[in-house]
Chain A
Amino acid sequence: MLDMLLPSIVDGLLIGVVYGLVAMGLTLIFGIMNVINLAHGPIIALGMFGVYLLFTNTGVNPYLGLLIVAGGGLIFGVIMYFVAVHRVLNAPHLASLLSTFAVNMIIIGAGTVVFSTNFRNVDFSLGAVTFGPVTTTGARVAAAVVALLVTAALYLFLRRTRLGKNIRAVANNRKSAELMGIPSSRVLAISFGIGAMLAAVSGGLLATIQPFTILSGGVYELKSFVIVVLGGLGNPVGALAGGLILGLIEGIVPVFMKTTWVPVLEFALFVLILLVRPQGLFGARQ
């Protein structure tokens, strides 16, 4: 059993980093504008299909395809902000929940018509990778590396660039930001675009390691909620930590129990955290 444990932990950590990225867009958008984007899952699914279609139809390398998917996600997010979010930003929470849920239903409906709900997979292999006693797939390692790079880039963007600091300023005090000459609507639109971009990229990465359908985003949206609550809602760095915890649970639990116990434990943890430490293990937005 112990010789199964180490590979499980490694696999869990690798997928955990990707999970962190999956949840990051959700937590970023909430942290900046207090909106829970219920279209998060379908945007992840669109990212999966983006990479899949680019690869299957035009032969674009999936990792190159991620760049195109990122651009598409950004544009989609900015448009979605002006169509479905901007006007309900100051309304009660229910309004933005409903409007983003409407976008969710539209994507799923249209996606089902166009793609059906059959499973797809990106038929592209990076072979196997071995570190000492542990062997895993190259795709998993690559996905984790890309997810880490994107996380680091996001962190540097928010900390070091003027636009990143403007985003934090608007998140912190929108009125004051406007008094300093920062056009808050434009900044919020870009922030929402970045949140959607992160979701789409994470979907693209997941597509390189697992089969998926247009409905798969929903699964990851649920996981995102668990991760975000673990890491603290609105805290992108906490999302990475939450993702790692979830990845570890998924890696280790099947060694001892049936795999079907994984979601039970995940959501039990979710409820427990909400009861005991609702601000998350690492504190809400930093």
Chain B
Amino acid sequence: MALLEVHDITSGYGELQILWGIDFAMEQGQLTTLVGSNGAGKTTLLRTIVGQLKPWQGKVFFQGQDVSRLPPYTKAEMGLIMAPEGRQLFTDMSVLENLEMGATPRRARPRQAQNIERVFALFPRLKERMHQRAGTMSGGEQQMLAVARGIMSEPVILIVDEMSLGLAPVLALDLFQALRRLRKEGYTILLVEQNVRMALKVSDYAYVLAKGKVDRSGPSRQVENDQEVRRAYLGI
């Protein structure tokens, strides 16, 4: 069984069904990406995986265990960590305090100090700003902090939602490279992106979501060269 498996999930908000039977799997050590246009259901799928939404039908398996109905904090404790869309930092707290909050899961606490050094090495900007209030930083720095806070939790899977949204291309590129580096260090990452081109470039395996269903999936190289995908998402 794969590290994370989603079986035939349907989900949505109130009366509004967004996901129409999604099957999805992620392997250890890979950078998997989930791409698709706005409203395709990417964020809804993530929210169902981490437990902010309960699936209407279907199941989520994490490390072989059925976690479909567990609340987000229990899943975080197990190592399913999300750096949420729009960053969602603790804006009134300092950068350092945000990182400490990342180290909440019991697995992550003993190595809190080492992990802080590690994320400061990955994002030196955060070290310069460590006593600054998170809400007063630039968008790019806040996004770095969101990813860094996720790393602090010692994720078994790190889910990064809409990382490049609203960022200048140069900053976005830095962040994609940081993810690439994390992947080399052995992290398992799920990247959800509206920047399809970059997402396919840095990932190993890709799922294309459309209208609440998996439209295509396969190794990223292969998806990148798919005529349909090129026309629909890459404008070629």
Contact = CB atoms under 8 A, between A and B. Distances in A.
Contacts of A175: 52, 72, 84, 88
Given A172-B90, A173-B89, A173-B90, A179 B101 contact: no
Given A165-B97, A165-B101, A166-B101, A178 B92 contact: no
A177 B90 CA distance: 8
A179 B50 contact: yes
B82 A177 contact: no
B81 A177 contact: no
Contact of B76 (A173, A180, A285): A180
A176 interface: yes
Interface in B69-127: 71-73, 76-77, 81-82, 84, 88-93, 97, 100-102, 104-105
B149 interface: yes
B48 interface: no
Interface in A167-202: 168-169, 172-173, 175-184
Contacts of B100: 162, 165
Given A168-B90, A173-B91, A175-B52, A180 B149 contact: yes
B14 to A, nearest CB: 15
Interface residues of B, number: 24
A83 to B, nearest CB: 21
A169 B90 contact: yes
A259 interface: no
Given A166-B104, A181-B105, A176 B84 contact: yes
Interface residues of A, number: 19
B153 interface: yes
A135 interface: no
Given A165-B101, A166-B104, A183 B73 contact: yes
Contacts of A181: 73, 76-77, 104-105, 153
Nearest to B97: A165
A176 B97 contact: no
A179 B90 contact: no
A286 interface: yes
- Best-surrounded residue of A168, A169, A181, A285 (most CB of chain B within 10 A): A181
A179 B76 contact: yes
Q: Which of B52, B92, B102 has the most CB of A within 10 A?
A: B92
Contacts of A166: 101, 104
A111 to B, nearest CB: 38
B91 A172 contact: yes
Contact of B72 (A165, A172, A173, A179): A179
A262 B93 CA distance: 39
A176 B142 CA distance: 14
A233 to B, nearest CB: 15
Contacts of A183: 71, 73
A135 B18 CA distance: 73
A172 B90 CA distance: 6
A180 B81 CA distance: 7
B71 A178 contact: yes
B76 to A, nearest CB: 3
Given A165-B100, A165-B101, A166-B101, A179 B93 contact: no
Given A180-B76, A181-B105, A184-B73, A172 B153 contact: no
Contacts of B50: 179
Q: Which of A168, A176, A179, A184 has the most CB of B within 10 A?
A: A179
A182 B91 contact: no
Contact of B88 (A165, A173, A182, A285): A173
Contact of A178 (B76, B89, B93): B76
A166 B90 CA distance: 10
Contacts of B153: 180-181
B209 to A, nearest CB: 21
B95 to A, nearest CB: 13
Contacts of B105: 180-181
4 nearest interchain CB pairs? A181-B76, A176-B88, A178-B72, A181-B104
Interface of A: 162, 165-166, 168-169, 172-173, 175-184, 285-286
17 contacts: A165-B97, A165-B100, A165-B101, A166-B101, A168-B90, A169-B93, A172-B90, A173-B89, A177-B73, A177-B101, A179-B76, A179-B81, A180-B76, A181-B76, A181-B77, A184-B73, A285-B92
Given A165-B97, A182-B104, 12 more contacts: A162-B100, A168-B97, A169-B101, A175-B52, A176-B88, A177-B73, A178-B76, A179-B81, A180-B76, A181-B73, A181-B104, A182-B73
